């Protein structure tokens, strides 16, 4: 057996396909903006950061959402939005990121920023600026919220469709998987599909394989946010693999929310052995305390991954992305160079 050479993971080029806008905020920025506006933060976001979470029950998820709402409340000006996006890009670049698809639910910000269209324009402008200043390739995923009415999701799908080819590459569905009825969101996903967007709903995180099947059947997912619980049922996992659906696996998030007891229980080897395409993601670094390279580092340590395994994970992140083909070719060559180096 070759001993792993442990090449630096920050130097491994990768694409980041599962990062939420609000949850990408740096902890220091949260503290600074809250102090500026005299917003009192709960201890879990100050002295006890990163917070201890567990979403195994609805009470735990409610607590997670409460912290999320507090984080959202510190973003008050267009410059705050630009800063958040720029810092998310800088942090990904530091972690070896070459491409980022950042996910936002505009309805959480519409009231403060002149409506969901104005807010989307602002975020897209911030994305262009951040991409130019950092060199990171970036695109936006618009996500609907499954705890709101499916009509709201349709409105967001139409909005996302208007920006297809102009910075928006995907349409998602987030929040507590146990709430709302997945089939009710089918029409919204049909709108997004017709617009040519990647369909990237969350599923198979808090709920098991049956939720994966429902999301595949009713929403027609191209990628699954998490989808990690497909590993609970070999037949479902085979179906995911046969359909070519990529899984956005977020190990630190899974453990923080109690989906798995520890990092070694995150079933990455099971997914890979079955032939699944996996793209590791950080989900919400603000609440889980770990960014992009951290996901590769924890999986390397938990599952004794070789550098060849890690390079393949990075390649899969590029293949599952909606990045331009010329950029993908370039990045795949960079992964080969990392492994050869």
Q: In the 8-state DSSP scheme, what is residue 4?
A: P
**Quick one: 248 or 307, whose CB is closer to Zn ion?**
248
Q: Report the nearest approach of Zn ion to the CB of residue 103 (Å).
A: 7
Measure Cα distances from 200 to 92, 104, 153, 175, 222 in Å. 20, 12, 13, 13, 6
Determine the residue with CB nearest Zn ion: 283
Give the integer Cα–Cα distance in Å for 81 and 75.
Answer: 7
Transcribe 233-297 into DSSP letters.
Answer: -HHHHHHHHHTT-EEEE-HHHHHHTTSSSSGGGS-HHHHHHTT--EEE--B-HHHHS--HHHHHH
Stretch that binds Zn ion, among 73-81, 155-163, 277-285, 290-298 (CB under 5 A): 277-285
Q: How far is the CB of 283 from Zn ion (least distance, A)?
A: 5
Nearer to Zn ion, 211 or 331 (CB): 211
Task: Rule CB under 5 A: choose which of 222, 283, 307, 334 binds Zn ion.
Answer: 283
Q: What part of residues 22-81 is at the interface with Zn ion (CB under 5 A)?
A: none
User: Closer CB to Zn ion, residue 175 or residue 335?
Assistant: 175
Confirm or reject binding of residue 177 to Zn ion (CB under 5 A): no
For residues 15 and 137, give the distance between their C-alpha atoms in angstroms, rounded to a whole number: 9
Catalytic residue among 101, 177, 205, 334: 205
Q: Which three-class secondary structure state does DSSP give residue 310?
A: helix
Stretch 233-272: interaction string toward Zn ion, x if CB under 5 A: ----------------------------------------
Stretch that binds Zn ion, among 125-133, 165-173, 267-275, 282-290 (CB under 5 A): 282-290
* Least distance to Zn ion, CB of residue 306, Å: 28
Kindly determine how many residues on this chain lie close enough to bind Zn ion according to the rule CB under 5 A.
Answer: 1
- DSSP class of residue 106 equals G
In the bound state with Zn ion, the residue whose beta carbon lies nearer, of 24 and 155, is 24
The reply to whether 129 belongs to the active site is no
Q: Compute CA distances 24 → 43, 217, 318, whole Å.
A: 19, 30, 20
Least distance between Zn ion and beta carbon 23 (Å): 8
SS3 121: helix
Residue number, 257 or 316, with CB nearest to Zn ion: 257
Distance CA 226, CA 312 (A): 18
Q: 130, exposed or middle or buried, with CB in 10 Å at 0-12, 13-18, 19+?
A: buried
> How far is 196 from 160, CA to CA, in rounded Å?
10
Q: Which residues contact residue 117 at a Cβ distance below 8 angstroms, ignoring those fewer than 6 apart?
A: 106, 159
92 vs 283, which CB is nearer to Zn ion?
283
Question: Any idea which residues carry the catalytic annotation?
Answer: 205
For Zn ion, the binding residues (CB under 5 A) are: 283
């Amino acid at each position: 057996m070759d001993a792993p050479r442990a090449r630096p993971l920050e130097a491994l080029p990768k694409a980041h396909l599962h990062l939420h806008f609000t949850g990408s905020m740096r902890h220091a920025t949260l503290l600074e903006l809250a102090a500026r506006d005299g917003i009192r933060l709960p201890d879990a976001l100050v002295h006890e950061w990163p917070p201890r979470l567990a979403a195994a029950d609805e009470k735990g998820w409610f607590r997670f959402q409460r912290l999320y709402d507090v984080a959202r409340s510190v973003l008050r000006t267009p410059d705050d939005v630009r800063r958040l996006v720029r810092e998310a890009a800088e942090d990904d670049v530091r972690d070896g990121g070459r491409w980022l698809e950042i996910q936002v639910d505009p309805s959480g910000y519409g009231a403060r920023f002149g409506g969901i269209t104005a807010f989307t324009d602002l975020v897209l402008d911030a994305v262009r600026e951040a991409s130019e200043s950092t060199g990171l390739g970036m695109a936006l995923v618009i996500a609907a919220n499954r705890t709101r009415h499916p009509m709201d999701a349709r409105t967001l799908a139409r909005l996302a469709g208007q920006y297809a080819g102009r910075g928006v590459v995907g349409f998602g569905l987030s929040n507590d998987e146990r709430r709302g009825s997945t089939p009710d969101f089918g029409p919204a996903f049909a709108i997004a599909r017709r617009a040519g967007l990647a369909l990237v709903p969350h599923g198979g995180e808090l709920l098991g394989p049956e939720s994966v099947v429902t999301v595949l059947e009713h929403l027609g997912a191209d990628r699954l946010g998490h989808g990690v619980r497909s590993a609970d049922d070999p037949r479902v996992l085979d179906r995911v693999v046969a359909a070519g659906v990529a899984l956005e696996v977020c190990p630190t998030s899974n453990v923080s929310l109690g989906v798995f007891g520890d990092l070694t229980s995150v079933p990455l080897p099971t997914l890979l052995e079955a032939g699944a395409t996996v793209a590791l993601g950080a989900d919400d670094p603000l609440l889980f305390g770990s960014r992009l390279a951290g996901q590769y580092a924890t999986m390397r340590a938990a599952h004794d991954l070789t550098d060849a395994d890690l390079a393949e994970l990075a390649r899969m992140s590029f293949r599952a992305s909606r990045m331009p083909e010329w950029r993908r070719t370039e990045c795949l060559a960079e992964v080969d160079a990392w492994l050869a180096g």
